Amino acid sequence: MSYMKIKAAGGIRHAAEVLVFIEAGASRVGTSSGVQIMQEQALSTK
């Protein structure tokens, strides 16, 4: 059995938004704000 994967994209600019989409079932995220998101995540885990 194969499963369809979901890509969240469009207007995702913050780490909190990424987490919401992942919790909702997204397996991939498309964003041009990847560096900013990773920097936010790194700051929040310190």
Reported as a single tens digit per residue, the pLDDT across 10-38 is: 999 999 999 999 999 999 999 999 999 99
Question: Which distant-in-sequence residues (6+ apart) come within 8 Å of 44 by Cβ?
Answer: 15
The residue extents of the domains of the chain are: 13-44
**Are the C-beta atoms of 7 and 30 separated by less than 8 Å?**
yes
User: Does pTM surpass 0.85?
Assistant: no
pLDDT of residue 46: 72
